[in-house]
């Protein structure tokens, strides 16, 4: 590649990088501004203030934010674990077994992932109110599976197809059952794919707003994205922009930490099978 071409690639990459990070930098800047400094028209705060973070973590907004943060962590972890386990079993069957309707399973998974969430919220609301799942953890975990499970099945089935049959057959020759071969041979070999699937599923559940705002009504099960919509200022004349920005930064930290810790697994998982041989 010529030097001029490299320069253009670097310039294009930096422009895309700046375009993607500008909203994040803006939110961070807003979170560090005092309420009187929010409308000064400047991108950077005139003086760094931790008032918004204190309001969210220990102040008046902590009673709304901290329970929602606990709900989001617990609900998303449980939904991710269930999604990965069920997707692994389904993907293994799709990748290894020949049965009628195998293509239909993947087609239905893809169709469910493309189905608009907003169209099923009202029926879910009525059903959950009837059977007692409204405003509960289970009432959010079950709908979250409809978001995370289809993509998990598609991702893991691609990984399982790349694992040679001989590995499983060798384990069975040594006396392992099919379940033992799957648990001790297939799943460890598909480790990057499992990690990638779990992280993506966690992100999908973590960022959901529609289910969280529609299927909860109190702090008992309301997740963070829905709780941010209920932030208020100190008075009716004050907008909660700073507090919402501080809460958004805090919520983003777990996502950034996960990506930094598992970036190799994510890259390996997303590129698995991209090059034949």
Helices (H), 58-164: 62-96, 102-114, 118-131, 137-162
Range of the domain at 94: 46-271
Look at residue 29 and tell me if it is in a domain: no
Task: Please report, to the nearest 10 degrees, the dihedral formed by the alpha carbons of residues 7, 8, 9, 12 taken in order.
Answer: 120
How far is the C-alpha of 71 from the C-alpha of 141, rounded, in Å? 11
Q: Are 141 and 164 in contact (CB under 8 A)?
A: no
Residue 101 is predicted with a pLDDT of 77
Residue 4 is predicted with a pLDDT of 80
Number of domains present in the structure of the chain: 1
Residue 237 is predicted with a pLDDT of 54
Look at residue 6 and tell me if it is in a domain: no
CATH of the domain at 85: 1.10.3720.10
Read off the tokens for 108.
Answer: 């239905």
The pLDDT of residue 202 is above 80? yes
Look at residue 158 and tell me if it is in a domain: yes
Look at residue 186 and tell me if it is in a domain: yes
Percentage of the chain exceeding pLDDT 70: 93
Look at residue 64 and tell me if it is in a domain: yes
Residue 184 is predicted with a pLDDT of 83
Mean pLDDT, residues 261-277 taken together: 60
Mean pLDDT, residues 20-37 taken together: 86
User: Which residue did the predictor score with more confidence, 223 or 171?
Assistant: 223
For residue 181, name the pLDDT band (cuts at 50, 70, 90): confident
For residue 84, name the pLDDT band (cuts at 50, 70, 90): very high
Instruction: Give which of 231, 252, 254, 253 is closest to 62, Cα–Cα.
Output: 231
Look at residue 193 and tell me if it is in a domain: yes
Look at residue 32 and tell me if it is in a domain: no
Could you tell me which residues come within 8 angstroms of residue 242 by beta carbon, excluding any fewer than 6 positions away? Answer: 30, 31, 33, 34, 35, 38, 51, 52, 55
């Amino acid at each position: 590649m010529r030097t001029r071409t490299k320069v253009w690639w670097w310039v294009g990459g930096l422009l895309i990088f700046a375009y993607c990070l500008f909203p994040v930098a803006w939110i961070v800047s807003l979170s560090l501004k005092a309420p009187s400094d929010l409308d000064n028209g400047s991108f950077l705060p005139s003086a760094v203030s931790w008032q918004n973070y204190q309001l969210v973590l220990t102040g008046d907004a902590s009673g709304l934010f901290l329970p929602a943060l606990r709900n989001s962590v617990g609900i998303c972890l449980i939904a991710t674990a269930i999604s990965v386990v069920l997707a692994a079993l389904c993907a293994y069957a799709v990748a290894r077994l020949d049965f009628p309707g195998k293509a239909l399973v993947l087609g239905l998974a893809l169709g469910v992932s493309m189905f608009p969430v907003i169209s099923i919220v009202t029926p879910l609301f009525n059903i959950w109110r009837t059977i007692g799942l409204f405003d509960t953890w289970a009432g959010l975990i079950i709908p979250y599976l409809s978001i995370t499970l289809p993509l998990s099945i598609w991702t893991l089935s691609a990984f399982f197809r790349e694992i040679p049959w001989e590995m499983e057959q060798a384990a069975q020759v040594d006396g392992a059952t099919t379940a033992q071969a799957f648990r001790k041979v297939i799943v460890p070999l598909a480790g990057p794919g499992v990690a990638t699937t779990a992280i993506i599923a966690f992100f999908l559940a973590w960022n959901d707003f529609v289910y969280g705002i529609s299927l909860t009504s109190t702090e008992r099960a309301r997740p963070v994205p829905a709780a941010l919509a209920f932030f208020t200022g100190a008075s009716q004349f004050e907008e909660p922009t700073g507090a919402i920005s501080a809460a958004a930064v805090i919520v983003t930290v777990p996502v950034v930490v996960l990506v930094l810790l598992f970036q190799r697994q994510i890259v390996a998982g997303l590129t698995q099978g991209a090059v034949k041989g």
